[in-house]
Structure 1
């Protein structure tokens, strides 16, 4: 069914197009041409004005075949990559594995998903497979904290449920739960003084911030919750004779449970306020939710359908809870039940990234099978 050479050639073509996050202009134009040439209605939203990225999100709609009054589907992948992603030189090994030349990433995250979508569309057309309406939503800025999808207006979406093609792991794995994330921004203000002449006159913001961090529950809080301080900045490089009066911290908390996330943020805030009060320092604590959580079990229609279709193409369905966010989180928040399907890529975000040709083929088969199966469902 799947044309392996055509699929691999298209994947190779896509990964050769530079598309580091924030610089999606060229890949966006390539994708517009490809989806348009396949007969889809291609629209770009206005999110780039908000995100500052090189392109907005693409909404590519394949109209239902004339006799297909069935649920509407959504598939999503992202067009951007992490760095280093310029001048990628893909190599096909004798073992059937595609890698870069070792100086860059490969970009299978997430151009494997894009290639699978395009091949699936070709198969639908070549084999006259009945299908309902399908939206292929290609996001910009996913690698920049989901910036593109977070800036998307729900008015663009018209689907009953959907699938992100953007998870690591063996094809057949389904991320049925992913956490909400909150960013934390903290600033401590103490009092400067000469560190050698009168240090007792100062209030070291570094000391205050260190004490606060030491009181925070961080790392793995429980099976559903994590927290981390990722940035700690203060003082002047090369200067050691001043009691530092200002420090800034950035961190995050994640949890599948909104209540647990709220409790974690409160614990971090409380630690900051207590230490500031004890030391006479001032503190400013802000938090903002980046994206919502989602969680399904095997009884949910979106999961049941994925498991049934995966089984039909010879995969072993397996559900799991992931600790990372994806565009699936955002689309759930926009009202489209969505889970994230494993694509099979390995060692993403590194120069050792790779994907097996067999997995590329399998993902395309899964997309076709889901579409075919959904076409037999009642609306």
Structure 2
């Protein structure tokens, strides 16, 4: 039996790393055609490369697309599968990621957290039930005017601290470990240019989940639908019985969507939805962008068919109006791949349990880089990073949960080595 105990490790740096990383603005931009979508994402990535190299990880580098690749060599004499740990550096454009001021609320005692830069922003314990599990812990928030960036700089910091500990403690036996940091995950482009041949990993784990103890092997399957409406534009002074505003037709379509089902605000668990998330245009032409989600891939076509029927019903009242309906595949439920490799989840669940907390298998009402990586040939479930209330000013994470995530990474590495 090995004498070294991962759970006895106390010299974590994950919280300090996290609070340093979130101060670097890495917000992505869906309207940009460049890759990465914002050059500032590379500011953090360059720092990560420097820090990895300082740890002695010689091959750490940043490529032209903004990906960070690094290898921790095996210290085992066994033939161990190569495992990749992955997180994304960008933050959501839903809320500003500029000038983030992280605050550590030490020894949290269940009080509401009033954020000082905007006292109207209050993280209330009764609205964030997972805060009840943080009594005595150190909770980190932003200051009230920005998001925090725990999605997914918590995962980045956890992988970085695990890398430090693996390099410092050769008694932790492991196979080859690959590190991958991606840009643009928040806008759905996170793995568009990843080089899996260069990565050369057998299996992976994204560190991009929420509550401590959870690991997710199931995501939505996702399509995007763009509806383009061609109206009839006439000078408004002479428009009677001639003009048909494409923008008004678009509004009617949105109004005709189901009110009590098939929407994000009326569904939960594994129920799917059709969600209009952007509308633009004018009298002549208007566009509505929809996202279509369901855990069963086959249901996407059903939802899209229902959407088309709704549109036909509205447009049919205006003989001069036409429309186009374009479906784009975004990602698919990674469970379809992960079920073929049950050992990945078995080891993930065991690793979490070894930290001393209850391991919970979950599905996620969303997607991760792991969704697409799984279908690209790198089966990749999603492990908790500890963050909560993502994409908004009330985002928070605790130091202790991030430390549990670091321990989980170390246990995953050792269990793969043990089983080899």
TM-score (norm 1): 0.87
Q: Which residue of 1 aligns with 2:70?
A: 60
Q: Which residue of 2 aligns with 1:186?
A: 227
Structure 1 residue matching 2:306: 3-state secondary structure: helix
Contact 1:205-1:245 at 8 Å conserved across structures: yes
CA positional deviation for 1:152? 2.0
CA separation in 2, counterparts of 1:2 and 1:298? 34
RMSD: 2.4
CA separation in 2, counterparts of 1:293 and 1:158? 23
Given candidates 94, 103, 111, the residue that maps to 1:91 is: 103
CA separation in 2, counterparts of 1:132 and 1:258? 35
| 1:288 and 2:298 correspond | no
Structure 1 residue matching 2:174: 3-state secondary structure: coil
Structure 1 residue matching 2:186: 3-state secondary structure: coil
CA separation in 1, counterparts of 2:9 and 2:181? 22
- Bigger share in strand: 1
CA positional deviation for 1:205? 2.1
Distance 1:90 1:190, change over 3 A: closer
Q: Which sections of structure 1, spanning at least 5 residues, go unmatched?
A: 49-55, 236-243
| 1:177 and 2:187 correspond | no
Given candidates 279, 291, 297, the residue that maps to 1:232 is: 279
Given candidates 3, 11, 20, the residue that maps to 2:18 is: 11
Contact 2:228-2:288 at 8 Å conserved across structures: yes
CA separation in 2, counterparts of 1:245 and 1:302? 53
Stretch moving more, 206-215 or 327-336: 206-215
CA separation in 2, counterparts of 1:61 and 1:159? 10
Stretch moving more, 68-77 or 115-124: 115-124
CA positional deviation for 1:150? 2.6
Distance 1:135 1:5, change over 3 A: closer
Q: Which residue of 2 aligns with 1:39?
A: 56
CA positional deviation for 1:207? 4.1
CA positional deviation for 1:188? 0.9
Give deviations 1:239-264, integer Å, cap 9, x for gaps.
xxxxx232211111012222111222
Q: Which residue of 1 aligns with 2:365?
A: 323
CA separation in 1, counterparts of 2:26 and 2:183? 10
Give deviations 1:189-245, integer Å, cap 9, x for gaps.
12123556542122332343344445555416783422111122233xxxxxxxx23
Stretch moving more, 85-94 or 328-337: 85-94
CA separation in 1, counterparts of 2:340 and 2:216? 11
CA positional deviation for 1:353? 1.8
> What count of residue pairs does the alignment treat as equivalent?
360
Contact 2:374-2:380 at 8 Å conserved across structures: yes
Structure 2 residue matching 1:148: 3-state secondary structure: coil
| 1:262 and 2:301 correspond | yes
TM-score (norm 2): 0.79
Structure 2 residue matching 1:308: 3-state secondary structure: helix
CA positional deviation for 1:32? 0.6
Q: Which sections of structure 2, spanning at least 5 residues, go unmatched?
A: 1-7, 29-37, 108-137
| 1:314 and 2:352 correspond | no
Contact 2:208-2:382 at 8 Å conserved across structures: yes
Contact 1:80-1:141 at 8 Å conserved across structures: yes
| 1:122 and 2:198 correspond | no
Q: Which residue of 2 aligns with 1:199?
A: 240
Given candidates 211, 216, 219, the residue that maps to 2:263 is: 219
Contact 1:71-1:377 at 8 Å conserved across structures: no
Given candidates 158, 168, 175, the residue that maps to 1:132 is: 175
